[in-house]
Every structure is written in structure tokens, then in C-alpha cells.
Amino acid sequence: KAGVTQTPRYLIKTRGQQVTLSCSPISGHRSVSWYQQTPGQGLQFLFEYFSETQRNKGNFPGRFSGRQFSNSRSEMNVSTLELGDSALYLCASTTGGSETQYFGPGTRLLVL
């Protein structure tokens, strides 16, 4: 079974721009969670989607948003990029009733 895939793998943007990242979960998984990983803060939970609905949200500003499609694929969007948004953005999927989350390889975003 294929794992979680994320595109693109690397991205360079400038301050003020917006970016959209994509995540395809493991086949059959209906829940997708997004995390931000930085050297200073570690891995932090952004939000979770299940059956196209945001089920939970971490402590991030409204510039960070997401959505989920009927095929469980998910996108996250960051608007008005700041230098501090440079990070590895990770997507994880699970069946929805399980606690075990499986991570993708991440998208490394650099904001200049």
C-alpha cells in the first residue's frame, strides 16, 4: 500500500506571497492532519480534517488554512508568508478511529 505523499517537496517563496501544499493520504484513510516542524519549536499541530470537515485546530494564526476533498486528499494554504513560516510541513493520515498517524516526507518551505 502506498504511503502518504506530499507535493511539492521543496518550495521557495518571498514574504507576502501565499503558498498551497498538497497531501494524499494512505488509501482508505479518511483523516489528514498537518504539522509544522521547525528547529526551535519542534513539531506543532496545525489542524486535522476528517470527511471534508476541520475537526480540530492548533494554535496558529488564521493565515494558515486547509481543506479536504471528497477523495480525502488535503491541501493547506498559508497566506501573507512571513520569514518565520520557513519550516518542514508534514502531513499525517489515519483511519479516523485510530490514534496511529502515518507521516509523509514533508514539504520544505523556505521564505525569503
Partner 1 sequence: QKEVEQDPGPLSVPEGAIVSLNCTYSNSAFQYFMWYRQYSRKGPELLMYTYSSGNKEDGRFTAQVDKSSKYISLFIRDSQPSDSATYLCAMKTGSGGGADGLTFGKGTHLIIQP
Q: Exposure of 87 by Cβ count < 10 A (0-12 exposed, 13-18 middle, 19+ buried)?
A: buried
> Any contact of residue 4 with partner 1 (CB under 8 A)?
yes
Residue of 2, 62, 70, 99 interacting with partner 1 (CB under 8 A)? 99
**Binding-residue total with partner 1 (CB under 8 A):** 27
d(CA 36, CA 41): 9
Backbone φ and ψ of 83, nearest 5°: -55, -35
CB of 16 vs partner 1, minimal distance in Å: 27
Residue 80 or 98: which CB sits closer to partner 1? 98
User: Which part of the chain contacts partner 1 (CB under 8 A), choosing from 60-68, 69-77, 78-86, 103-111?
Assistant: 103-111
Give dist(CA 27, CA 6) in Å, integer: 14
